[in-house]
A and B are shown apart, each in its own frame.
Chain A
Amino acid sequence: MPGAKAAELGRRCTAIVGVVLATTSCNENVVSPAVCPEFCPPATLEVFDSIIPASVVRDSAFRGYVKAAESQRAQVAADGTVESNPIFRFQPFSDSIQLGGGFVDAPRPVVETDSFRFEFIVNRRSLDTAGTEVPELPVFRLPADIDSNTTQADLEPYLQDSTELAAIPVADDFLGGNLGAVIPGDAFPTFDEDNNVVSLGLGYRFSRPGFADLLTSDSTFLATILIRYAKVDSIDGAPVERADTVIVDFDSYVSPPTSAIDNDLLSIGGAPSARALIRVDIPSGIVDSSSVVRATLILVPTEPIGGITNDTLFVLAEALPYDLGAKSSIVVLPSDTLGSGVLRIPVDWTDTVKVEITNILRAWRSPSTLPHTISLRTLPEAGSIAEGRFGSSRSPIGQPFLQISFVPPIVVQGGGG
């Protein structure tokens, strides 16, 4: 073909393609209202709701996952019969304090301690008032050698008026944040013998049950501090005022010992924390092939939810990557439970509780190899003394079961009408 002809062909083709594209390049829009069943495929989505009574099998509970000293919260609470007391052991103060900023000057010895300031962070608290009375958090002096083995019984002699160093009022409008108290400089007579280590405890004093949850060092690095205001020798011999701060070396809370796990019950919560393992046996036609719209695990408390009145048990359901019984780790799904994300159960609750496990069942859908096992734990674990006990599959009454709303599998193809 001569070159001129080819060029003409090229130009004309370009023009034609331009015309065609201008005409046909509109956005596609095929979305239209369905007219069913007359103009729809024969297979339509249909939701079935099924209660599966014997769906929970080989369920069990274990205690000891998180101890109070490892929790992200420490609960101070009292309801007249039960008390929970946070305890803190601070890092040792130095015998000397830097006179100026930085490390320019040599530290100067402390000649006199004026006072201490004890500060901590409250995460949440019970909101209950009694007229003009407000709750108080008394601060107690504790032995310097407290540790994770220290029990409430060990500290009973120290949680008394005689060892009370200060009392912190909690105002009605205080919802959370920093609280603190000034402690006299001579409040720790064994300060030197204890190698400058200070330990403190907190109590809850109010005419009605109440609580406050404190952040611990496992949650925030500077959750609790102790500031010392002291006089140190200056270079010219005249004492000057200086301050230094120590953080906690150990923090925890003590409460009455938790009861042993009852093998016929499912326990969740407490400190050390208890988890329940729920193994589920449901038809593969539901879990493998169907589209689960909503799945609910229904638990029946065998006794009122334990803890301080007005407190709440936060329960989280999670899938397991493999079922090794009590040693199983958990799978963090994008959203473990639908709706609120975490089930909230008020203390003293006696009615059935419904744990949404929709996303867990959807994660089990074939070809998933996850075991059909669910872990139930509190959040944060061992963060309070609240604990729930529910019927297990071995209980004569109050056995757990599942309610599942699902859409059976369909193949949408032609043929409708």
Chain B
Amino acid sequence: MRRIYVVLLGMMLLAPVVTEAQSSIYSPLGVGFLGRPIGTRSRGAAGGLGSFDARSAINPAATGGFRRLSITGSIGTELRSYNALGASADGLRETRAPFGQLGGWLRGTPVSFSLTYYPYADRTYNLIAIDTVEIRGDSLESSDRIFSDGAVANIAGALGYTISSRFSVGAALHLITGSARAGARRNFDQPGFAAAREEAQLGFNGLGFSVGIMAALFRELTVSLAFRNDSRLETIADSVAFSRIELPKTFSGGVLVRPFPAVQWGTTVIRQTWSEAANDLEQIGGANAYDTWEVSSGFELGGIPGSTRIPLRLGFRYAQLPFSSSDQPHEVDISAGSGYDFAGGRAVFEFSAERIFRRGGGAEEDAWYLTFSVTVRP
């Protein structure tokens, strides 16, 4: 048992280094492909329960949901393919650590806490382009490789305060950090021309805070509101500040309906003002940035004492994506998930499967995203 804690704590400590989200053809755009601050349970419901789930990080007031110390580590695998402006790719796959959390409740006080990491934006891609260039009057076939390996990570320290059984508040400080090794290489088909290679180690710095409230208006109806504001994301290339990109304000709200104790239906709406980044992106020749709406809705059946031990989660999500060179893209998720608790509830294994369709900006991308997590409650 102790060994499992050690492993999970190790995962937590290493998380800032290895955390990355799923990639996408949209990963090279803007600040990267955005991650999601939700755990596997909420993913199973497409994020609909995210505003109310202590094992997510949308609303810091939700940390009041912890009843004991809880340590979560997760792993996610994505399988995807895309078609974009005549180019296509199949069989792309990667495995990442999308979410980790340490949360709990200060015994004898109304204060709860959590330390959460999740990818703010994925910066992993490896693009290959074949072209013909003319140098010194010679037509040379060139092979370009543009790559980045890393992510912008979010580490959130949240405190929740349960004012009453019906009302809680919370606040969180977000440390936005991470790194990526990025570069480009060009090889020529003629031996007289050496390969061009540019590489840089990028570091990311930013800070944010969030506040939230959660109120049970009735026993069957809970609402949630949260606000988050982030600073600019500073990109440091080889120890020199390279760019500063304004990060958005995030407004989120949710409704959780629980007609029966074993049935929960939640809907979460998130609004992010990514257009604030447009000017900064324009200065570095980047993509357009759009404000986004995200609506996710899902339910969970069972999973509590007195009902089925294995819960069933289903959900649907629609989200606009913030970065594109032309029209604003969006994605649609259909998700399902479940879990299994054992050892008297001291450990929980959860998984989710998402079918994702991304469209817009000239690309069509389809993906499967499988997430697994283990939560231990000592």
Partners in one complex: yes
Q: Chain A contacts of B230 at CB under 8 A? A: none
Q: Is the CB of A1 within 8 A of B235?
A: no
Interface contact B129-A36, CB-CB below 8 Å: yes
Residues on the B chain within 8 Å of A285, using CB? none
Check A33 against B192 for contact (C-beta < 8 Å): no
- Report whether A40 and B146 are in contact in the complex, using a CB–CB cutoff of 8 Å: yes
**Interchain CB contact under 8 A, A411 and B29:** no
A201 to B342 CA separation, bound complex (whole angstroms): 98
Cross-chain pair count, CB within 8 angstroms: 234
Report the interface size class on chain B.
35 or more
28 A-B Cβ contacts within 8 A? A1-B1, A9-B1, A17-B374, A28-B94, A29-B91, A32-B127, A33-B128, A34-B127, A35-B84, A38-B325, A39-B25, A39-B127, A47-B133, A47-B186, A293-B186, A293-B196, A294-B193, A338-B193, A339-B191, A339-B192, A406-B196, A411-B198, A413-B123, A414-B28, A414-B123, A415-B29, A415-B286, A417-B30
- Docked complex Cα distance between A13 and B185 (Å): 44
A294-B343 contact in complex given A412-B146, A414-B286, A415-B245, C-beta closer than 8 Å? no
Residues of B within 8 A of A42 (CB): 284-286
A residues neighboring B (CB under 8 Å): 1, 5-6, 8-10, 12-13, 16-17, 19-20, 23-45, 47, 49, 291-294, 338-339, 356, 358-359, 362, 403, 405-407, 409-417
- Determine the distance from Cα of A44 to Cα of B85 in the docked complex, in whole angstroms: 19
Question: B168 on the interface (CB 8 Å rule)?
Answer: no
* A24 and B95 contact, CB distance less than 8 A: yes
Most chain A C-beta atoms within 10 Å of own C-beta, residue among B30, B84, B195, B198: B198
Give Cα distance in the complex from A356 to B136, angstroms.
14
**B89 interface hit (Cβ, 8 Å):** yes
What mask results when residues 310 to 323 of chain B are scored 1 for a CB within 8 Å of chain A, else 0?
A: 00000000000001
Give the CA-CA distance A36 to B130 in the complex, in Å: 11
A19 to B350, CA, bound (A): 12
Q: Does B106 contact A (CB under 8 A)?
A: no
Q: Is B176 an interface residue (CB 8 A)?
A: no
B148 within 8 A of A: yes
**A28-B286 in contact (CB<8A):** no
Contact B135 A49 (CB under 8 A): yes
Q: Are B121 and A414 touching (Cβ within 8 A)?
A: yes
| Chain A residue, CB-CB nearest to B90 | A32
Q: Which residues from A are CB-within-8-Å of B87? A: 33-35
- Per the bound structure, the CA–CA distance linking A12 and B374 in Å amounts to 11
Complexed CA–CA distance, A1 and B245 (Å) = 51
Q: Please tell me which one of the listed residues A13, A25, A33, A356 contacts residue B4 in the complex, with CB atoms under 8 A apart.
A: A13
Q: Do A412 and B25 touch across chains, with their CB atoms under 8 A apart? A: no
Partner of B196, one of A36, A41, A45: A45
Known: A30-B124, A412-B182. Is A417-B287 also a contact (CB below 8 A)? yes
Bits for B168-181, please: 1 = Cβ < 8 Å to A, else 0: 00000000000010
Distance, CA A30 to CA B124, complexed state (A) = 8
Q: Let me know if A6 and B325 touch, CB within 8 A.
A: no
User: Assuming the A-B contacts A38-B361, A42-B285, A43-B184, are A30 and B194 also in contact, with contact meaning beta carbons closer than 8 angstroms in the complex?
Assistant: no
- A20, A30, A39: the one contacting B92 at CB < 8 Å is A30
Q: What's the minimum C-beta distance from B40 to chain A, rounded to whole angstroms? A: 11
- Say whether B242 contacts A23, CB under 8 Å: no
Whole-angstrom CA separation of A42 from B282 in the bound complex: 10
Chain B residues near A35 (CB, 8 Å)? 25, 84-87, 362-363
**Whole-angstrom distance between the alpha carbons of A23 and B353 in the complex?**
12
Any chain A CB within 8 A of the CB of B346? Answer: yes
In the complex, chain A residues whose CB is within 8 Å of the CB of B370: 23-24
